[in-house]
Chain A
Amino acid sequence: MAAVPSPAAGTAPLYGAYGIVKRFGDFKANDGVDLEIRAGEIHALLGENGAGKSTLMKILYGLLEPTEGVVTHKGDIVQLPDPEAARAIGIGMVFQHFSLCENLTVAENIALVMPKTLSGRALAERIAALGAAYGLHLDPARPVWSLSAGERQRIEIVRCLLQDPRLVILDEPTSVLTPGEAEQLFSVLERLRDEGRALLYISHRLDEVRRLCTRATILRHGRVVGACDPQGESARSLAALMVGAQVGAVTGRAGAALGPPRLVLDRLSLPAPGLHGTALADIRLTVRGGEILGVAGVAGNGQAEFFSALSGETAAARAEAVVVDGAAVGRLDINARRRRGAAFVPEERNGHAAAPGMSLSENAVLSRHATAPLARFGLLRRGAARTLAAAVIAAFDVRKAGPDPAAGTLSGGNLQKFVVGREIQAEPGVLVVNQPTWGVDASAAARIRQALIDLAARGAALLVISQDLDELFEIASRIAVLHAGTLSEPVPAGETTREAVGLLMGGSHA
């Protein structure tokens, strides 16, 4: 891989990045990365979470300055001190976490990045024209908070295309879309490619990459570990490149021997919390001991509200709406539910499941003070907390620096192992987990999934909310779909398909 634009490649690529190094403190997020992007191609940037994809893309968009290395445009070295500079040389970006202001309208959000001289009416006309041309319809007057994830992404794309970019960077664009919405996106992307634009497609979803892209650069631990034509590779070979080693599949499967009902939801309904939340409507469900019920769904369809209603962070209107091991707990708080044998793992590690600035032993107290002997007469038993934390650390192979470090100093995977382990250590009869392996490296993810299956095998009832269908098909015995705050009838995982679940995620009740 050339350290400078290589004359051997013929004409210079449309955009290039050479020898990119980006340090955050001692950590090298990018370590000598080279990348060339040509007009009329959809170029995949593949890698696991934390491989350095987002860092590289932010450098290309002028959001980060590389510690070393250069970016080129048509062979000339360019400076990108800010996104304005990147936009000026034709680079546009569609963010994964939408950079939209929720309380502004669609048109206002788009106007933020348009030339100062453009009038409101002219802008509305251009939005309409573009929408008609690409099938990206938007109501300019709507406030963003009232829109679905798919519609929000449309704003991002329209905003990007209005600047007529030569390169469009897309960061995990399908992670918030239903399979149907993803299909629509693909046809837009193919059209853009056919118009001669370059696209940089960042993803870890191998099927999409193989369908869309003709070239791929693969990153691992901040370095380029390979380049290939994804259409000539198998998903397995791509995965091996990304992960660097074969990841063992989980063993055993939940749901072999079913016990009594341990978690029962009866007509659970909750009003939407605030302007931007989702209401839950009439959710009924029974999870038996020994099984894992998977709840699929696109983000923003009520997952957070559902989790909160199960955990007791939001109380239900009726006690019978949530029943744990025969006890009606709908009106009880989270600790009362824990005392009845339930345990919970929220989606967000930092700041929800754990307080990042506090030590691991203090974080053990956080969720276990009601269910473990960690306090007596209101006084903390710090030795007992350290012992509990040490037990979790040993059982889940949590890698850390120092004897009792702050939770925030752990890597995502290790903190997630600690957080899941902390709850499993209580041997709960009911465990509710929201996104068990979100943003976690493959080996930690495998370990966590195995632990969940083992817990079910010991007779616990598990409810796992996940956006990752592969994960659900791997561990769940039954799968239901959460869409717009309603839950579909659970079906055995072995009797359904990704396509059928995907349809439900999109809201069609086939």
Chain B
Amino acid sequence: MTLDIVQMVLVTVLTAATPLILAAIGELVAERSGVLNLGTEGMMVLGAAAGFAVATETGSTLAGALGGAGAGLALSGLFAILTVGLAANQVASGLALTILGLGLSGLVGTGYVGMKRDPAPHLHLAGLSDLPLVGDLLFGQDAFVYVAVALVLGVWWFLGRSRAGLVLRAIGDDHTATHALGLPVRKVRVLAVLFGGACAGLAGAYLSLAYTPFWSPGMTAGRGWIALALVVFASWRPLRVAAGALLFGGATVLQLHAQAAGLGLPGQALSALPYVATILALVLLSLGRRQGGSLAPAALGREFTPHR
């Protein structure tokens, strides 16, 4: 009985963490290549709207997930053209992307407000899924969760072990030097941004297809921004992103339970908790960091214009 409650809480933490993991791991790859894309929130919310719309029209959750990822990818393509192609300011372009994404998601989602569909199917393995404590947690989740885990491990391997990952890290460290060596700086950055966009779109699709599961305008509620903070918090390391997202998911679950338990605190105070927690996390991180050393990719946010 108590084991079931523990497992239930852990499962809720995992579900709350999944969209953050998905969005943050994509952003991490873009940032390791030296591009700061602040448009995560916009790509995520568009992914949520597009994902729900496609899933409703086709009746397929898979098609919806792909649709959401595709929408995020398309939006990040615009960002890549602006920042990598035209060397536009990355911060401002990211904000433009957020505003555009929020607007477009409203357009795409208009006809779907108030609709409901079944949540994404969960895995069920006879025997394994029924194990006490860990059965549901490990073997009873929807595909998004497993994809998120696979992406974290994949990105960890890619950045640390593969040659392409080495090239990406090198470009994020010094685009002038890597360009002089003849490495394709802009191509790699475009690909990294697109990957980040697809991940953010998928994170959004998870919200509307598995987490809630319905579409409502602005439903990401700042999760894209929290994902951005997580990347900083995780010092640009993939495994730490997952750990941070789980911590954050835990805080969210705590807040929901506190709200349900009725602690006498106003609901708004509890709703503000994730945002305050994000600020506190960033403050604690910088307090704990040694003076002078920054862990950010050295070329992060800098414009690059090769000319031949």
Contacts and interface: CB of A to CB of B under 8 A. Distances in A.
27 contacts: A63-B180, A63-B182, A63-B308, A64-B308, A82-B182, A83-B181, A83-B182, A87-B182, A95-B180, A99-B176, A99-B178, A99-B181, A100-B174, A100-B177, A101-B169, A101-B173, A101-B178, A103-B173, A104-B173, A108-B166, A109-B170, A111-B163, A112-B167, A112-B170, A112-B178, A274-B292, A275-B292
A104 B292 contact: no
Interface of B: 163, 166-167, 169-170, 173-174, 176-178, 180-183, 292-293, 298, 308
Contacts of A274: 292-293
A494 interface: no
Contacts, number: 59
A109 B177 CA distance: 10
A357 to B, nearest CB: 14
Interface string A108-127: 11011100100000000000
Contacts of A113: 181-182
Give the 7 A-B residue pairs with the shortest CB-CB distance, closest first.
A83-B182, A99-B177, A99-B180, A274-B292, A101-B173, A101-B170, A101-B174
Contacts of A84: 182
A98 B178 CA distance: 10
Interface string A66-95: 000000000000000011101100000001
B231 to A, nearest CB: 17
Residue picked from B163, B167, B178, B293, most chain A C-beta under 10 Å: B163
Nearest to A86: B182
B173 to A, nearest CB: 4
Given A99-B176, A108-B170, 16 more contacts: A62-B182, A64-B308, A65-B308, A84-B182, A95-B180, A99-B174, A100-B174, A101-B173, A101-B174, A102-B173, A104-B169, A112-B166, A112-B170, A112-B181, A273-B292, A274-B292
Q: Is the interface of A mostly helix, strand, loop or mixed?
A: loop
Contacts of B166: 104, 108, 111-112
A64 B179 CA distance: 11
Nearest to A275: B293
A109 B169 CA distance: 11
Most buried by A among B169, B173, B182: B182
Contacts of B293: 274-275
Nearest to A85: B182
Query: Which bracket fits the contact residues of A?
Result: 20 to 34
A113 B308 CA distance: 20
B177 A101 contact: yes
B181 A116 contact: no
- Give the most central of A82, A87, A102, A112: most B CB within 10 Å: A112
Contacts of A101: 169-170, 173-174, 177-178
Given A99-B176, A275-B292, A104 B181 contact: no
A459 to B, nearest CB: 40
A116 B163 contact: yes
Contact of A102 (B182, B183, B292, B298): B298
B178 to A, nearest CB: 7
B257 to A, nearest CB: 42
A329 to B, nearest CB: 25
Contacts of B183: 112
Contacts of A83: 180-182
A352 B308 CA distance: 26
A50 B24 CA distance: 46
A121 B166 CA distance: 16
A75 to B, nearest CB: 25
B174 A102 contact: yes
Nearest to B292: A274
Contacts of B163: 111, 116
A52 to B, nearest CB: 16
Contacts of A87: 182
A305 to B, nearest CB: 13
Contacts of A273: 292
Contacts of A62: 182
